[in-house]
């Protein structure tokens, strides 16, 4: 990946340098061409100014031309122009400051024709050299064209300067591209090194080595965000696998007890001389343990299904009706007083079977931890756009240090509220999961005058 990043950066640099070099070459070449034309125009203006307006033709014009050209031949400079004057009549017809026969250059005959002469720039070729030239008609005081003045400069120096600039720019650009490629490779490797460590760490992670984490001390950029996200994912995976291991251990422990009881009583039944009454008691004990195991397995399956369940279709539910139904079912669980306090018109959205099961689990828990004649109270109220449902009992309550764990799987409280209730230890965990599937929360607490209270909060909806 670092090679691809470096290649992309190098390609962008190369294209940029090439475009910059061509733009600079075009700009300088254009500027040099403009300067060349200005020099030629200056020569034409200087010649026109040197020729006296009184000179009309003939010997006087030729003498003035020779004087001017001789003076220009003695001027200093690295590149003196070729000057040429073509006369309309007389001998010689052409006077020049150079031995070059510029009048023989390709395309120059028409430009020097006195009859059609006009001020213009032309490009000429003489042998292997190219010239840039300007022609200007020379007029007498009466306005008659009596000669054509031409000044020319070779363009090789302009091309050479432009080519030299282009080569220099490309050389510098090549150096910049090389340095840029080196910096890009180093930067890409430095930036992607955390990702390489991420891949290496991920390859070492297994179910038994989830404690591995990716070390990263760089900025909070995209790479830092990826590393942080992967470390967070590993935290969640470690917690999930830990929870799975605890769940498996707890389930094994819960199943081991009834299996041990069943095994022991089966061994006792092998005694053929056992009294029939005692044999009946042993069989009854085995039957009870089998039923207990059945309830435990059913609850385990129910919780496993809920952990991976997708919430079903919800419908509007009136809270008071749900509480009345849960109370009615709770009366069949034991001799308890069931009180329901819920104003009409409170509605929530949810699955009726799942929410009723959650309430019934709380009612069953309250019945299991109260004595005959005890009281279980179900209440509902609207609080800030939420429906708060409470299930309270007048039992011994829950110790403060255990309140945070009562919804854990297989957890059973200690003290007066503990003991053998015949439950699987999964009812409250199932309740919490059912409520979470409806976007709600479940908490546990104690009443000020004794007894435990469980609270469910769900989002309130408008009356359908």
Instruction: Kindly state whether residues 298 and 383 are assigned to the same domain.
Output: no
**Are 298 and 440 contained in the same domain?**
no
Tokens representing 199? 């891949």
pLDDT tens digits, one per residue of 50-64? 776 545 555 578 888
88 and 132 in a common domain: yes
Of the three residues 278, 307, 336, the one that is the final residue of a domain is 307
| Domain-located, residue 203 | no
Sign of CA dihedral 228, 229, 233, 234: negative
- In a shared domain, residues 52 and 135: yes
Checking if the pLDDT of 113 tops 90, the result is no
| One domain, residues 125 and 149 | yes
pLDDT in tens, 152-165: 988 887 777 777 77
Better-predicted residue by pLDDT, 323 or 107: 323
Looking up residue 18, the CATH number of its domain turns out to be 3.30.450.20
Q: What is the pLDDT of residue 417?
A: 47
Arithmetic mean of pLDDT, 18-45: 82
Could you tell me if residue 376 is inside a domain? yes
337 part of a folded domain: yes
pLDDT digits (tens, 9 = 90+) for 339-355: 999 998 999 999 888 89
Helix, strand, or coil (residue 405)? helix
Q: Domain of 236: which CATH number?
A: 1.10.287.130
pLDDT at 382 over 60: yes
Asked whether residue 179 is domain-assigned, the answer is no
Residue 320's pLDDT is what? Answer: 93
**What percent of the chain stands above pLDDT 70?**
80
Mean local confidence (pLDDT), 123-138: 88
Instruction: With a cut of 80, say whether residue 458 has pLDDT above it.
Output: yes
What CATH number should be reported for the domain holding residue 368? 3.30.565.10
Instruction: Say what the pLDDT of residue 419 is.
Output: 47
Res 106: pLDDT: 84
Is 79 within the bounds of a domain?
yes
Checking 309-316 for CB contacts under 8 A at 24+ apart, the result is 309/437, 311/351, 311/437, 311/438, 312/351, 312/354, 313/351, 314/349, 314/350, 314/351, 314/438, 315/349, 315/350, 315/351, 315/352, 316/347, 316/348, 316/349, 316/461, 316/464
Do 423 and 391 reside in the same domain of the chain?
yes
pLDDT at 323: 94
Residues 86 and 36 in one domain: yes
Least confident stretch, 54-68, 364-378, 400-414, 422-436 = 54-68
Given a cut of 80, is residue 423 above it in pLDDT?
no
The mean pLDDT value for 96-105 works out to 86
Question: What is the residue range of 398's domain?
Answer: 315-461
Tokens of 322: 């749900």
**Alpha-carbon gap, residue 325 to 457, rounded angstroms:** 18
Which of 256, 290, 307 terminates a domain? The answer is 307
pLDDT recorded at residue 203:
72
Taking the model in full, what pTM does it have? 0.47
Do 396 and 451 lie in a common domain?
Answer: yes
Number of structural domains found in the chain: 3
**pLDDT of amino acid 379:** 94
Q: For 370-413, where are the E strands, in sequence order? A: 375-383, 386-393
**Is pLDDT at 207 greater than 70 in this prediction?**
no
Residues 275, 139 share a domain: no
pLDDT at 424 over 70: no
Last residue of a domain, one of 162, 177, 207: 162
Mean pLDDT rounded to a whole number for the chain: 79
Question: Mean pLDDT over residues 431-436, rounded?
Answer: 88
Same domain, 293 and 346: no
The answer to whether residue 208 sits within a structural domain is: no
Whether residues 41 and 73 fall in one domain: yes
| Lowest-pLDDT range of 77-86, 117-126, 435-444 | 77-86
Q: Is the pLDDT of residue 252 over 70?
A: no
Residue 321 domain-assigned? yes
Most confident of 79-88, 157-166, 261-270: 79-88
Helix, strand or coil, per DSSP, at residue 388: strand
Predicted confidence at residue 281, as pLDDT, reads 76
Q: Are residues 58 and 144 in the same domain?
A: yes
> What are the pLDDT digits (tens) for 388-402?
999 999 988 888 888
What is the average per-residue pLDDT within 216-234?
76
Residue 120: strand pairing partners: 135
In a domain, 167, yes or no: no
Across 431-443, b (16+ Cβ under 10 Å) vs e yields: bbbbbebbebebe
φ/ψ of 218, rounded to 5, equals: -85, -170
């Amino acid at each position: 990946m670092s090679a691809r990043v470096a290649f992309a950066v190098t390609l962008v640099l190369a294209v940029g340098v090439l475009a910059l070099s061509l733009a600079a070459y075009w700009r300088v070449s254009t500027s040099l061409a403009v300067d060349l034309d200005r020099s030629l125009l200056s020569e034409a203006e200087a010649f026109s100014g040197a020729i006296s307006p009184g000179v009309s033709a003939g010997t006087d014009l030729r003498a003035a031309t020779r004087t001017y050209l001789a003076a220009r031949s003695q001027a200093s400079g690295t590149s003196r122009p070729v000057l040429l004057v073509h006369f309309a009549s007389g001998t010689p017809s052409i006077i020049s400051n150079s031995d070059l026969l510029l009048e023989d250059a390709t395309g120059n005959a028409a430009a020097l024709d006195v009859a059609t002469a006009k001020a213009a720039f032309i490009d000429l070729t003489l042998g292997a050299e190219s010239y840039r030239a300007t022609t200007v008609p020379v007029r007498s005081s009466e306005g008659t064209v009596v000669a054509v003045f031409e000044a020319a400069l070779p363009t090789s120096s302009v091309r050479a300067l432009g080519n030299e600039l282009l080569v220099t720019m490309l050389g510098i650009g090549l150096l910049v591209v090389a340095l840029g490629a080196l910096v890009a490779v180093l930067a890409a490797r430095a930036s992607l090194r955390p990702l390489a460590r991420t891949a290496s760490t991920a390859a070492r992670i297994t179910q038994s080595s989830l404690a591995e984490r990716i070390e990263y001390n760089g900025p909070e950029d995209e790479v830092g965000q990826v590393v942080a996200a992967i470390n967070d994912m590993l935290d969640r995976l470690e917690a999930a696998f830990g929870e799975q291991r605890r769940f498996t251990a707890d389930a094994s422990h819960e199943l081991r007890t009834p299996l041990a009881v069943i095994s022991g009583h089966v061994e006792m039944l092998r005694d053929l001389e056992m009294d029939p009454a005692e044999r009946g008691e042993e069989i009854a004990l085995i039957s009870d343990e089998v039923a207990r195991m059945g309830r435990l397995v059913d609850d385990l399956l129910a919780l496993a299904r809920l952990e991976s369940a997708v919430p079903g279709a919800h419908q509007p539910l009136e809270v008071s009706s749900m509480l009345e139904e849960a109370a009615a079912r709770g009366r069949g669980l034991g001799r308890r007083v069931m009180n329901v306090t819920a104003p009409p018109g409170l509605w929530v959205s949810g699955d009726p079977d799942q929410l009723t099961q959650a309430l019934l689990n709380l009612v069953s828990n309250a019945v299991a931890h109260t004595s005959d004649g005890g009281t279980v109270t179900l209440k509902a109220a609207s609080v800030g756009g939420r429906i708060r449902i409470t299930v309270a009992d007048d039992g011994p309550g829950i110790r403060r240090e255990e309140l945070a764990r009562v919804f854990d799987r297989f957890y059973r409280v200690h003290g007066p509220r503990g003991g053998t209730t015949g439950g699987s230890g999964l009812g409250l965990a199932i309740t919490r999961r059912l409520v979470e599937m409806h976007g709600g929360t479940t908490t546990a607490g104690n009443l000020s005058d004794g007894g435990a209270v469980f609270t469910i909060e769900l989002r309130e909806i408008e009356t359908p």
